[in-house]
């Protein structure tokens, strides 16, 4: 504790000295005026619950903290800027000039401060300064290699190109837990078969910003499967154990030495915010793969917002049980299923764009309760709203396949394009648990949604009613043209006012169907890898 205090003090002293040396520089996002001890931030984007407000702000150095002097609204802007993220209480200053050098500064809001005060959490030179002790020098001048198991808290900074070699684990399993912090704009390059695995009890704090997303990609950055992907493992409930097992914990299919699950529904595996996961996936064995983002028993305390998985070899996001909640997902050019769940996922998700490539891609959503025991509990019961799911032309598969006993409540979503069927219910357990049209149990529902595929509905094995009757018997569903222009609603689209607020506190109340309100509300802009 004493040592930690000393380090913090040193950091703050250094910060003060550095700040007093700041010179005016046109490319900086912040400048320091030594005459007044003030820091000017010409543009601060304040992120709050999926919306943004823009301000110019002035901070004044008071002791070792920066106090807010003024904040005035300014026009919305793109390009390098300062970002205050209310989810993490952090201000990210991408560039302050100190002499000839430029620094990234992270400020943290002091809880309860009035006027607002910020402590200086990080000051990192934006130029390469060598590899830290937890990494080895890489093959190029500014690269450092991560490998093995990391059991102390570390921060990956933007001034280094980080190479993953082989599996990289954060923490032991529920022991030697660690926090992997990743700064905005940091690039991580997975080598062949490499993956990044956050073990139970440990956390990833990947806090990107709209102008400086965090990028996890392969060595070439062109093809699916160049590296294996990102895995979060948590202690939230999963199914797949024998009845009577008090706490269900199961091995991961592709890496069977790794265990996930537990009894902490609110478990927290950290933050993924403004993150691109590109060209990942590894088919370890037939039907046992690593995905772009694999979520194993991840709990609802985890924050996942603005995450793109692009060109994944297997699934985009595969959820193995747990209670994880997500917003603003972009799942593009995925080779297998864009969103896949099994082992009893009981989470939430809102604002999901699924867009397949022209030439490959399996299902938009493949949803299981449990493959081995369709009735295993806890039963999969996610709530999903505002999905836009677009299939490639000539697909031979389902847009959304609900099977193996899954439950789900779908709201405000649109499935369109060349899927063989938009919606399919499959398997006796799935039908049985749903009830019957006109007398549904509430476990398997869809409302305020649109379908418009090569065929809209198909019925799988064991059907006791038709998927068509199920869909059309529920509130405000339409089989018809949603009038999309690309992935956005075109002018006059019936999606624009066709939505309903979801009766669950996680969801942002909206009145529209699909992932986007209108053609001017494209939240994929700026932070994503190009996918059009």
User: Which residues in this chain contact Ca ion in the complex, by CB under 5 A?
Assistant: 289, 291, 314-315, 318, 336-337, 340, 366
The string of DSSP codes covering 9-39 is HHHHHHHHHHHHTB---TT-SBEEETTTTEE
Smallest separation (angstroms) from Ca ion to the CB of 182: 24
- The beta strands (E) that lie in 393-477 are given as 398-403, 408-411, 414-417, 421-425, 435-436, 439-440, 444-447, 450-453, 457-459
Which tokens in the block code for residue 181? 């912090």
CB of 305 to Ca ion, least distance (A): 22
For residue 451 the two structure tokens come to 């379908």
Q: Kindly give, in sequence order, each residue whose CB lies less than 8 Å from that of residue 149, ignoring residues fewer than 6 positions away.
A: 168, 169, 170, 171, 172
Exposure of 205 in the CB half-sphere (CA atoms within 13 A):
14
Nearer to Ca ion, 397 or 490 (CB): 397
Cβ-based nearer residue to Ca ion, 92 or 403: 403
Torsion from C-alpha of 297, 300, 306, 311, nearest 10 degrees: 10
Question: Closest distance between Ca ion and the C-beta of residue 364, in Å?
Answer: 11
Is residue 311 within 8 Å of 346, Cβ to Cβ? no
Residue 78 CB: number of other CB atoms within 10 A?
11
Given the complex with Ca ion, which of 85 and 366 has the nearer CB atom? 366
Least distance CB 245 / Ca ion (angstroms) = 23
Q: Name the minimum Å distance from CB 72 to Ca ion.
A: 49
CA distances from 220 to 104, 182, 278, 334 (A): 27, 22, 11, 17
CB of residue 303 to Ca ion, shortest distance in Å: 23
**Integer Cα distance of 440 and 164 in angstroms:** 49
Q: How far is the CB of 292 from Ca ion (least distance, A)?
A: 10
User: Minimal distance in Å, beta carbon 340 to Ca ion?
Assistant: 4
Task: Between 229 and 514, name the residue whose CB sits nearer to Ca ion.
Answer: 229
DSSP type of residue 529: P
Name which of 181 and 280 has its Cβ closer to Ca ion: 280
Residue (329 or 495) nearer to Ca ion, CB: 329
Closer Cβ to Ca ion, 267 or 362, answer by number: 362
Residue with smaller CB distance to Ca ion, 207 or 366: 366
Alpha-carbon gap, residue 334 to 392, rounded angstroms = 11
């Amino acid at each position: 504790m004493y040592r930690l205090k000393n380090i913090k003090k040193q950091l703050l002293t250094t910060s003060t000295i550095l700040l007093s040396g700041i010179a005016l520089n046109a490319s900086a996002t912040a400048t320091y005026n030594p005459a007044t001890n003030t820091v000017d931030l010409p543009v601060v984007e304040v992120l709050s619950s999926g919306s943004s407000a823009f301000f110019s702000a002035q901070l004044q150095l008071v002791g070792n903290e920066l106090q807010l002097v003024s904040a005035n609204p300014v026009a919305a802007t793109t390009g390098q800027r300062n970002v205050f993220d209310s989810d993490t209480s952090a201000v990210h200053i991408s560039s302050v000039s100190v002499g000839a050098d430029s620094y990234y500064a992270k400020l943290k809001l002091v809880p309860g401060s009035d006027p607002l005060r910020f402590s200086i959490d990080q000051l990192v030179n934006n130029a390469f300064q060598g590899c830290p002790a937890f990494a080895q020098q890489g093959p190029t001048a500014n690269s450092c290699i991560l490998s093995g198991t990391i059991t102390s808290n570390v921060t990956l900074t933007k001034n280094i190109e980080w190479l993953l070699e082989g599996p990289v684990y954060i923490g032991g399993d529920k022991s030697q837990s660690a926090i992997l912090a990743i700064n905005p704009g940091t690039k991580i390059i997975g080598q062949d078969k490499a993956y990044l695995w956050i073990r139970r009890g440990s956390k990833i704090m990947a806090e990107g910003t709209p102008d400086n997303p965090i990028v996890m990609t392969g060595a070439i950055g062109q093809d699916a499967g160049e590296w294996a992907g990102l895995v979060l493992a948590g202690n939230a409930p999963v199914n797949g154990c024998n009845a009577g097992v008090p706490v269900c914990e199961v091995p991961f299919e592709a890496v069977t030495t790794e265990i996930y699950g537990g009894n902490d529904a609110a478990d927290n595996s950290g933050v993924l915010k403004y993150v691109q996961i590109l060209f990942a996936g590894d088919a370890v064995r037939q039907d046992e793969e690593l995905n772009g983002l694999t979520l194993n028993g991840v709990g609802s305390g985890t924050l996942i917002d603005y995450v793109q998985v692009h060109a994944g070899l297997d699934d985009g996001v595969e959820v193995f049980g747990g209670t994880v909640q997500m917003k603003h997902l972009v799942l593009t050019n995925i080779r297998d299923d864009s969103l896949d769940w099994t082992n009893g996922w009981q989470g939430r998700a809102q604002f999901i764009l699924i867009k397949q490539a022209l030439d490959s891609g399996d299902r938009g959503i493949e949803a299981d309760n449990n493959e081995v025991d369709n009735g295993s509990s806890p039963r999969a019961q996610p709530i999903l709203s505002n999905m836009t799911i677009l299939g490639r032309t000539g697909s031979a598969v389902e847009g959304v396949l609900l099977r193996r006993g899954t439950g789900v409540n779908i709201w405000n979503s649109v499935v369109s394009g060349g899927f063989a069927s938009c919606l399919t219910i499959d398997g006796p357990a799935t039908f049985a648990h749903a009830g019957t049209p006109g007398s549904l149990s509430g476990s398997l529902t869809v409302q305020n949604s649109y379908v418009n595929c090569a065929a809209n509905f198909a019925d799988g094995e064991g059907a006791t009613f038709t998927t068509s009757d199920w869909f059309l018997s529920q509130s405000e569903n339409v089989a018809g043209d949603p009038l999309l222009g690309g992935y956005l609603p075109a002018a006059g689209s019936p999606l624009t006012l066709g939505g309903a607020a979801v009766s669950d506190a996680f969801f942002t109340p909206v009145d529209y169907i699909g992932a986007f309100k209108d053609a001017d509300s494209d939240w994929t802009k700026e932070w994503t890898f190009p996918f059009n």
